[in-house]
Amino acid sequence: MACAAPPSPLPAHRSATAARVVFAVGPHPPGFYRRFKPSTGGAPRSSLRVVASGFKADPVEERPPVAPLADVPFSADASSPVEPQPQVSTGTWKWKGYNIRYQYAGTSGPALVLIHGFGANSDHWRKNIPVLAMAHRVYALDLIGYGYSDKPNPREIEENFYTFETWGEQLNTFCAEVVQSEAFFICNSIGGVVGLQAAVMEPKKCKGIVLLDISLRMLHIKKQPWFGKPFIRSFQSLLRNTIVGKLFFNAVATPESVKNILCQCYHDTSAVTDELVQIILQPGLDPGAVDVFLEFICYSGGPLPEELLPLVKVRMILVHGEKDPWEPVELGRAYSSFDTVEDFIVLPDVGHCPQDEAPELVNPLVESFVKRHT
């Protein structure tokens, strides 16, 4: 099934073994290239770093061949054994009486908690968990209301349940009861606001944050013109309280619609596979999913990232897909001016979900950031 309206021509295939190169705009002239080295936070705040793939690696010193080991998988060039990736397991955690689904892998090293975006779930990190778990304890949870976690009806529980404060509390309690240590938060889209909110609520739970295409919350009520606010509230009431909302949900909760939406936010539409469509769609067909969906798209209050960032005390990096159509890269770059943001990294030819579209770029950035702050 092809995407209805794919973006402009696809980028060249990204090889997982391709060299990663960074160039900086500002103090360096155009065309100045250097091999990627993790930032130590000393780079000028205004610099724009771009991580690219597809370049040839520099020549390396020749070494004598190593005799192969029996029954050990080897890399493509047969020069070194490939360490098998840890197995990913699934667990269920009880929180406030609700079942919360999470995945985990790895037995040693710093703890990482991966937080998904709107409409997604922990399966969106399937290309990251086993890789990162080779040197870390990795956890990915389904926020309440999403994925295979329970979806309590917002009309039957306390008012304003599906908020960033609720999810921030869920994340901190998860760290206390399941992870049982402080952790690095690795976040995508609205998951970034969840991570920031949790770090503000309980600073000792968080070691550092990687924000992947953080939601800028452009539909927040504070970002709307005064004359538009009454219309927004009326539209939200229409969705919540009439059949219009359910009809809208039914129109988007189909394989065709989900694929078309993903093709908008992924620059490389070849990454929008049938598997990915089912990962996003299937939990959305659960009972209660429609009410959570409508509750969140009508949630135009709560914290803004620019309100939370100055309150966070740990170090952060912002990673942004250059071709993100929903969160424009130049607007995201404005967040790099906050003191605790040590780097703003642009991924060329990548859209809104870089952890899934370009894991070969994202995983090394996460690993280097964690290593610097451990």
Q: pLDDT at position 232, please?
A: 76
Angle at Cα 271 formed by Cα 253 and Cα 213, nearest 5°? 80
* Single-letter code of the amino acid located at 364: P
Q: pLDDT at position 45, please?
A: 34
Q: pLDDT at position 32, please?
A: 26
β-sheet bridge partners, residue 137 = 111
Q: pLDDT at position 294, please?
A: 87
pTM over 0.95: no
Q: What is the separation of C-alpha 296 from the centre of its chain, rounded to a whole number of angstroms?
A: 18
Helix, strand, or coil here: 171? helix
User: 214 and 305 in contact (C-beta within 8 Å)?
Assistant: yes
Helix (H) or strand (E) holding 206: strand 206-212
β-sheet bridge partners, residue 49 = 24, 345
Residue 317 lies in a domain: yes
Residue 349 lies in a domain: yes
User: 319 and 354 in contact (C-beta within 8 Å)?
Assistant: yes
Each residue's pLDDT expressed in tens, for the chain with a length of 374 residues: 445 444 433 333 343 333 222 222 233 333 322 223 333 333 333 345 565 544 333 333 333 333 333 343 444 554 566 778 899 999 999 999 999 999 999 999 999 999 999 999 999 999 999 999 999 999 999 999 999 999 999 888 877 899 999 999 999 999 999 999 999 999 999 999 999 999 999 999 999 999 999 999 877 777 777 777 777 778 777 877 888 888 888 888 899 999 999 999 999 999 999 999 999 999 999 989 999 988 888 777 789 999 999 999 999 999 999 999 999 999 999 999 999 999 999 999 999 999 999 999 999 999 999 999 99
Residue 315 lies in a domain: yes
Residue 360 lies in a domain: yes
Residue 39 lies in a domain: no
Residue 280 lies in a domain: no
Q: How many CA atoms lie within 13 A of 127 on its CB side?
A: 18
User: 319 and 20 in contact (C-beta within 8 Å)?
Assistant: no
Q: pLDDT at position 246, please?
A: 86
**Domain of residue 100, residue span:** 89-218+303-373
Which has the closest alpha carbon to 346: 249, 267, 275, 277? 267
Distance CA 10, CA 16 (A): 17
Q: pLDDT at position 62, please?
A: 38
Q: How many domains does the chain have?
A: 1
Helix, strand, or coil here: 58? coil
User: Strand order in 137-141's β-sheet?
Assistant: 34-35, 19-25, 48-55, 341-347, 316-321, 206-212, 183-188, 111-115, 137-141, 98-105, 89-95
CATH no. for residue 93?
A: 3.40.50.1820
Distance CA 163, CA 153 (A): 14
Residue 192 CB burial class (10 angstroms; 0-12, 13-18, ≥19)? buried
Q: pLDDT at position 365, please?
A: 98
Residue 48 lies in a domain: no
Residue 209 lies in a domain: yes
Structure tokens given for 300: 């135009």
